[in-house]
Amino acid sequence: MTPTVNHVDAVLLERHKAWWQGRGTLHAEVYHEPLGDLWLPMADGSVAREDLAVWPGMLDADRMAGPPVGDGPIETDGDLLRVVQPFPRVPWVEAILGTPVRATIAGGSMRTEAFVRTWDDWSERAGGQGDGWLHLLLELTSKLVERSPGRRAVVPTLMRGPCDLAEAVLGPHLMCFSMYDHPDELRAFLANATTAFIDTLRAQLNLIPQIAGGHVNPFGIWAPGTVVRTQCDASAFLSPTHYADWYLPWDERICRAFDYSIIHLHSVSLHTVVPLLRVERPQAIQVTVETTPGAPSIPQMLPVFRRILERKPLIVDGQLSEEDLTTIRRQLPNDGLCVIVRKNGW
């Protein structure tokens, strides 16, 4: 499917293209509703009120897709395009791999439950649910395309990378011990998970209209080709060497399958930056700035940010104060930098 969405600022898209090449700066202030209870529409017309195990047939795809957005020029937040993505609360790729999903209403999330205790569990797992989740995801993607013909850029849903998929399906203990006790099984699993990720993203992109011959990533940055966002949050309990040896090659494989690529990191877990800068792909890095006690401050992270900007474009993304912004503007290079300021409210 290759229709082109109209009403896009060509000058802004050229700035986005330049950012991928490490030239120029992007900036946005993004307002969003604070995380609250999980809204989960059920196929019987109700809304889930209590925590429950979820499978795709229970859910109402029509309400999950939301109302029509309407035609017109694509709206922006600062230098970024406004996006809409298929119900990102669902851990889609984990579910497609067969992992049970549980909705926690008051917790505002949908989480997976590791179901592989031994490698025999993986080889003997029952199939069937994964196809249902993929069908639901593609149905939602199609509905968003129909309901967002202009004012929002439709982007693929949130997808977690091979490292996170291993933690979700295997649990952290089996994931870590298998690097030593069952290396062949772990490699085979990662090959399977990586293929599932790539196939799931390609299936969505086949349904999403191009914008000026390209696509938009979930952060609102356009690229003149296909684009992928991956992540490696579960690397928090791996050493840089373990990540580089075991998981980075699979993130690279995902990134090589598409034209443009970015990986999501957290400011409390930047030990993967060094191995990520040794490879060509992913081409860009996004860092979510945490504000939890003990998290590094912006001044503490400046050396890491400078090192990234020497090699790759960088997104600094979070609830940044005016002091943070002043520090960033004065002490980081402009070229290749994108700053996203998150604010509560609308």
CATH for 302 = 3.20.20
Kindly state whether residue 292 falls inside one of the protein's structural domains. yes
Q: How far is CA 210 from CA 12, 75, 149, 202, 328, in A?
A: 16, 16, 11, 13, 33
Kindly state whether residue 1 falls inside one of the protein's structural domains. no
Kindly state whether residue 3 falls inside one of the protein's structural domains. no
Q: pLDDT tens string for the chain (346 positions)?
A: 444 445 788 999 999 999 999 999 999 999 877 668 899 999 999 999 999 999 999 999 999 999 998 888 899 999 999 999 999 999 999 999 999 999 999 989 999 988 899 999 888 774 445 889 999 999 999 999 999 878 899 999 999 999 999 999 999 999 999 999 999 999 999 999 999 999 999 999 999 999 999 999 999 999 999 999 999 999 999 999 999 999 999 999 999 999 999 999 999 999 999 999 999 999 999 999 999 999 999 999 999 999 999 999 999 999 999 999 999 999 999 999 999 999 876 5
How much is the pLDDT for 129?
56
Kindly state whether residue 265 falls inside one of the protein's structural domains. yes
Q: Residue 108 and residue 102: Cα distance in Å, rounded? A: 11
How much is the pLDDT for 66?
94
- Where would I find the H helices in the chain? 10-20, 61-65, 92-96, 119-123, 129-147, 162-181, 183-205, 240-242, 248-256, 273-277, 298-311, 322-331
Contact 284, 315 (CB under 8 A): yes
Kindly state whether residue 4 falls inside one of the protein's structural domains. no
273 burial level (CB within 10 Å; 0-12, 13-18, 19+) = buried
How much is the pLDDT for 345?
60
Q: Residue 54 and residue 299: Cα distance in Å, rounded? A: 43
Kindly state whether residue 178 falls inside one of the protein's structural domains. yes
Residue with tokens 């933690």: 167
Joined tokens for residue 94? 């984990």
How much is the pLDDT for 124?
76
Q: Residue 344 and residue 341: Cα distance in Å, rounded? A: 10
Domain hosting residue 209, numbered range: 10-344
Kindly state whether residue 199 falls inside one of the protein's structural domains. yes
How much is the pLDDT for 271?
97
How much is the pLDDT for 202?
98
How much is the pLDDT for 338?
98
- CA dihedral over 233, 237, 239, 242, signed as positive or negative: negative
Kindly state whether residue 2 falls inside one of the protein's structural domains. no
How much is the pLDDT for 4?
46
Q: Residue 159 and residue 7: Cα distance in Å, rounded? A: 28
Closest alpha carbon to 96 in 196, 192, 176: 196
Please tell me the total count of domains within the chain. Answer: 1
